[in-house]
Amino acid sequence: MIRKIAALLIALMLVIAAHAEEIDLSPTPAPTEAAPVALPPISTAPLLESAPMRLNCASALLMEADSGQIIFEMNADSPRPVASVTKVMTILLTLEAVEAGKIALSDVVTVSETAAGMGGSQVLLDVGERQDVGTLLKTMIVGSANDAAVALAETLYGSEALCAEAMNRRAAELGLSGSRFVNCTGLPVEGQHTTARDVAVMARQLFAHEAYFDYSSVWMEDIDHGDGRVTQLVNTNKLLRLYDGCDGGKTGSTNEAGYCVAATAKRGGMRLIAVVLGAASGKERFALAREMFDYGFANYRQYPVARRGTKVRGRLPVTGGEADGVSLALDGDLTLLVNKGDEQRVDLSPALPESVSAPVRAGDVVGQVIVNVDGRAVAEIPVVASEDVAAKGAGFRRIWAHWLTKPRNSGE
């Protein structure tokens, strides 16, 4: 027994000696922690200090959808009613419920007296009428139907009031500090308001759902009520016909809110979101959105800065490890919105510690790469270890533990 233990120890010493050149046994300074880098999210820093055109409305904002980068804004945090643009949140909750499997587009809804009695924009649902979720969703997106919105709210939550509570919870999750919902339609009611910034954020979330565009680009369609009646839907978003690349959006208008729109357009792979609140007329809101889109597409482009998995040059020193360094990689994708021709003003700077302590596991975040535009930090990309580095002696301990737990013959 003693001879076997001695033989094992000698063998392990020979293994360590054979790899002595690969292991740096010299003292290494203790690792120093990198100072935390405080960076604002991209969307809080508009590219322009003011709008480059005259905006004859109460509030406005232009955003690039992929990054959330705001190009310019005006009175973006002023709370105000937005009429049926409120339905952006109602539509979002419905699509999220479908994707989560809570309801299906084919589920049939029986219209209540409350839903059928809604005023304003309607698809003219009757009490007791049966329509599937997909049809109701379409009428809300295309025709801004208040009766369909309430029917879906009741189906999802039991009542419009409970739906409004869910809208407020989702708003809090999205960080919409300027929003409060009382109903799901946007019809005038005391205490309901939102902001241009919040509308852009919730619209960006909505436009991330591909299923939305199955409905939003419908220009005209007949809705069969099943009793011989047919209602013709016409899309309230006239930009579908007026602007090349526009494929979605939500309009709204009341005396209190003025004329509002949150529209989106896509060209050359870049999607923009234009929010116009409180315009003087329907024609004015669409003209402003078109001008905002024109400016964005003419002056900006998406610039791919980084791709997840890209190797970082060099190795980060490791103290107390079986290897003296670890390879690194970027742990995020980043595409910036830049002024055309300004790509050379983008630079990357590492924010890494002098070393890390073993053990290190692949995927551990060890630092960041800071992305600067004209010397202004606009984003950070996590840097992670690409491989495991065990602590010194871990191999010996594994072998020793294995030997101690190995079943032994009862005759020994």
Contacts of 196 (CB under 8 A, 6+ apart): 59, 60, 61, 73, 74, 75, 76, 77, 78, 275, 277
Q: Which of 32-36, 108-112, 256-260, 347-351 has the lowest mean pLDDT?
A: 32-36
Mean pLDDT of 54-75: 95
pLDDT digits (tens, 9 = 90+) for 1-13: 445 444 444 443 4
Q: Which of 67-76, 86-95, 221-230, 303-312 has the lowest mean pLDDT?
A: 303-312
Mean pLDDT of 220-248: 96
Q: Which two tokens stand for residue 387?
A: 């491989």
Q: Are strands 270-279 and 258-267 parallel, antiparallel or unpaired?
A: antiparallel
pLDDT, greater one: 277 or 304: 277
Q: Is 40's pLDDT higher than 80? A: no
Q: How many other CB atoms are there within 10 angstroms of residue 80's CB atom?
A: 18
CA distances from 130 to 35, 133, 214, 394 (A): 61, 10, 22, 68
Average pLDDT across the chain, whole number: 87
Mean pLDDT of 326-349: 88
Q: Which two tokens stand for residue 43?
A: 């969307």
Looking at residue 400, its pLDDT comes to 53
Q: Is 138 a catalytic residue?
A: no
Instruction: Give the 3-state secondary structure percentages of the chain, helix then strand then coil, rounded to 5.
Output: 35, 30, 40
Looking at residue 410, its pLDDT comes to 47
**Catalytic member of 43, 87, 138, 253:** 87
Indicate the domain borders of the chain: 24-42+307-391, 54-300
CATH topology for 54-300?
Answer: Beta-lactamase (3.40.710)
Nearest residue to 244 via CA among 285, 293, 207? 293
Give the model's confidence band at 25: pLDDT under 50 very low, under 70 low, under 90 confident, else very high.
very low
What string of DSSP letters covers 249-264?
EEEEEETTTEEEEEEE
Looking at residue 401, its pLDDT comes to 57
Q: Is 27's pLDDT higher than 60? A: no
Nearest residue to 358 via CA among 380, 384, 326? 326
Q: Is 101's pLDDT higher than 80? A: yes
Give the model's confidence band at 67: pLDDT under 50 very low, under 70 low, under 90 confident, else very high.
confident
Phi, psi of 366 (to 5 degrees): -115, -10
Q: Is 238 a catalytic residue?
A: no
Mean pLDDT of 96-125: 97
Mean pLDDT of 106-132: 97
Mean pLDDT of 30-49: 53
Distance CA 159, CA 150 (A): 8
Beta strands in 212-360 (DSSP E): 220-224, 230-234, 246-254, 258-267, 270-279, 300-306, 311-319, 325-330, 334-339, 346-351, 356-357
Contacts of 78 (CB under 8 A, 6+ apart): 58, 59, 195, 196
Give the model's confidence band at 203: pLDDT under 50 very low, under 70 low, under 90 confident, else very high.
very high
Q: Is 281's pLDDT higher than 50? A: yes
Looking at residue 393, its pLDDT comes to 72
Q: Is 26 a catalytic residue?
A: no
Give the model's confidence band at 156: pLDDT under 50 very low, under 70 low, under 90 confident, else very high.
very high
Mean pLDDT of 46-57: 94
Sign of CA dihedral 319, 321, 324, 328: negative
Contacts of 66 (CB under 8 A, 6+ apart): 270, 271, 302, 335
Looking at residue 39, its pLDDT comes to 38
Q: Is 289's pLDDT higher than 70? A: yes
Give the model's confidence band at 14: pLDDT under 50 very low, under 70 low, under 90 confident, else very high.
very low
Q: Angle at Cα 131 formed by Cα 130 and Cα 136, nearest 5°?
A: 140
Distance CA 166, CA 174 (A): 12
360 DSSP assignment: B
**Catalytic member of 67, 144, 179, 216:** 144
Q: Is 231's pLDDT higher than 80? A: yes
Distance CA 141, CA 134 (A): 11
Mean pLDDT of 279-291: 98
Q: Which two tokens stand for residue 158?
A: 């039991």
Q: Is 30's pLDDT higher than 50? A: no
Q: Which of 162-166, 173-177, 283-287, 340-344 has the lowest mean pLDDT?
A: 340-344
What string of DSSP letters covers 207-229?
HT-GGGHHHHT--EEEEE-SSS-
**Catalytic member of 84, 216, 253, 355:** 84
Give the model's confidence band at 336: pLDDT under 50 very low, under 70 low, under 90 confident, else very high.
confident
Distance CA 123, CA 121 (A): 7
Domain 24-42+307-391: CATH class, spelled out: mainly beta
